[in-house]
Structure 1
Amino acid sequence: MSATPDPLPQPHTRLPGAVRPASQVLLAVVCVLLAGMALTDLFAVFAGLRIRMLTEADPGRALDGAYTLYERAGDLQGMVTLPGMVVFVVWFFLMRRDLGVLAPDAFRNGRGWALGGWLIPLVNLWMPYRVAVDMWGAAAPLPRRPSFWPVNLWWGLFVGGTLLGRYAASRYADSDSLTEVREAVAQYMAADLLNAGAAVAAAWFALRLTAMQRSKAVRGPFAG
């Protein structure tokens, strides 16, 4: 009996649109930074609540300390939010690139808008949402119509928190009395709560979209 040589191992080929190992690491970093953004937003809510409580009582040295804490909370937000947004946008662009290979007919705009849409004023209030909707549809299994509530929830919280935060910043800068300060801080607190919710929703969106992409790339477009 003649021995049959073992077949040569086949070279590894990556499936079109499959999740890259580097993208998985990037996703983990995104989720960690988004969690940090949510925590700093909640810390700012706590600091704002302290100011409101003290302005209702007898203002004094404790109020000065509350203002200092509030300013530190704002500085901490900036330190975490900037890198968090940068890393999230990088992940967003790379996800759009990979999904463009997986489902090229699912997108209404070129992949450059996944990056440029965040950078253009006013356009950044709706273009990233449009790209996100297309990505969600591209990753969803056929033939059923996907539910877009995770995208809608994330974007609604994000836009609401952004616009309310800008309005609260202008009110806070123009405040001349404790009453006006209290009102501006209350608006800031509402914006921070929306931003914290947006960070959590963005993490869920990223995790769910990646899972859908992985399933579709490995099991095919009709995977349940």
Structure 2
Amino acid sequence: MSVSSDPLPQQQPRLPGAVRPASQLLLAVVCVLLAGMALTDLFAVFAGLRIRMLTEGDPGRALDGAYTLYERAGDLQGMVTLPGMVVFVVWFFLMRRDLGVLTPDAFRNGRGWALGGWLIPLVNLWMPYRVAVDMWGAAAPLPRRPSFWPVNLWWGLFVGGTLLGRYAASRYADSDSLTEVREAVAQYMAADLLNAGAAVAAAWFAVRLTAMQRSKAVRGPFAG
């Protein structure tokens, strides 16, 4: 048989909602940035702890250096958090899009809310969680009832860290004494710890959701 008579290889049909190679690369970038966010949050906790230790006694000139370190930690947080949040929201929207193709009846809201829900004040404290719950349920194999604790853990830490961070920022800006500074820094430290936990929980949520989606797209809705 001549080479020209060989049948051409047939391209495999694409499964609805299948994980794209680009999405896998995006997930890796998301996890790297979330890890960076967690590390910068922990660095801010260290810088805040140094301020609290120095303000307990006679701070002297060392306190100036502690404030400088604390400001640098905040700048570093901003540099890492902004791109991390942007990339995570992009991944979040693309995952909602793919799961909407795979399980269109599992969602209570349109896929535009997977993006717009993050941008509207106050709504962004609830709507992304609702979309995430729907995505988790859509990706979970049938017939067993899925456990939503990864979603609840991530969102609880995220909302708690966000609200406490805003309150700590207002207290820190209005501080007139070292005692008030120490209290505000302690609240900032608690918020940073919550944010670090939220970043780790978000990475776990993203990895696990992608794995469930991949399994369901390849094996079908009853994949174990």
TM-score bracket, normalised by the shorter chain, equals over 0.9
**For 2:215 and 2:60, how far apart are their aligned partners in 1?**
59
Which deviates more from structure 2 when the two are superposed, residues 8-17 or residues 130-139? 8-17
Q: Aligned partners of 1:205, 1:2: CA distance in 2, in Å?
A: 53
Secondary structure of the residue aligned to 2:144 is: coil
Secondary structure of 1:176's counterpart equals: coil
- Tell me the secondary structure at the aligned position of residue 142 of structure 1: coil
Match status 1:209 vs 2:209: yes
Q: Distance in 2 between matches of 1:184 and 1:219?
A: 52
Q: In percent, how many aligned pairs have the same letter?
A: 96
How far has the Cα of 1:17 moved from its partner?
0.3
- Going from structure 1 to structure 2, the CA distance change for 1:3 and 1:66 (only over 3 Å counts) comes to closer
Structure 1 residue ranges (4+ consecutive) displaced by more than 3 angstroms after TM superposition = 1-8
Distance 2:154 2:7 in 1: 50
- Superposed CA offset, 1:141-186 (max 9, x none): 0000100000000000000000000000000000000000000000
Q: 1:3 to 1:190 in 2, by over 3 A?
A: closer
1:6 is displaced (CA, Å) by 5.8
Deviation at 1:9, TM superposition (A): 2.1
Q: Which stretch shows the higher mean deviation, 169-178 or 8-17? A: 8-17
Partners of 1:60 and 1:98 in 2: CA distance: 58
Structure 1 residues 3 and 57, CA, compared in 2 at 3 Å: closer, same or farther? closer
Q: 2:93 corresponds to which residue? A: 93
What is the CA–CA distance in structure 2 between the aligned matches of 1:77 and 1:111, rounded to whole Å? Answer: 30
Q: Deviations over 1:11-53 (max 9, x none)?
A: 2221100000000000000000000000000000000000000
For the residues of structure 1 that align with 2:221 and 2:61, how far apart are their CA atoms? 64
TM-score by length of 1: 0.97
Greater mean deviation of Cα atoms: 29-38 or 2-11: 2-11
Cα distance in 2 for partners of 1:112, 1:210 equals: 20
Distance 1:4 1:177 in 2: 85
Q: Deviations over 1:49-108 (max 9, x none)?
A: 000000001111000000000000000000000000000000000000000000000000
Q: State the alpha-carbon separation in 2 of the partners of residues 84 and 223 from structure 1.
A: 32
- Over 3 Å counting, the alpha-carbon distance change for 1:221 and 1:65 in structure 2 is same
- Of residues 8-17 and 206-215 in structure 1, the stretch that sits farther from structure 2 once superposed is 8-17
Partner-residue secondary structure (3-state), 2:25: helix
The alignment yields a C-alpha RMSD, in angstroms, of 1.8
Deviation at residue 7 of structure 1 after TM alignment: 5.0
Note the C-alpha offset of 1:118: 0.0
Output the CA distance in 1 between the equivalents of 2:7 and 2:64.
77
Q: Where does the alignment leave 5 or more consecutive residues of structure 1 unmatched?
A: none
Change (3 A) 1:3 1:182: closer
Offset of residue 197 of structure 1: 0.1
CA distance in 1, matches of 2:5, 2:143: 44
1:182–1:6: structure 2 CA closer, same or farther, 3 Å change rule?
A: same
Give a deviation string over 1:199-219, Cα, whole Å, max 9, x none. 000000000000000000000
Count, aligned residues: 224
Cα 1:178–1:7 shift into 2, 3 Å: same
Report how far residue 194 of structure 1 moved. Answer: 0.0
For normalisation by structure 2, the TM-score amounts to: 0.97
| Aligned counterparts of 1:135 and 1:175: Cα–Cα separation in 2 | 43
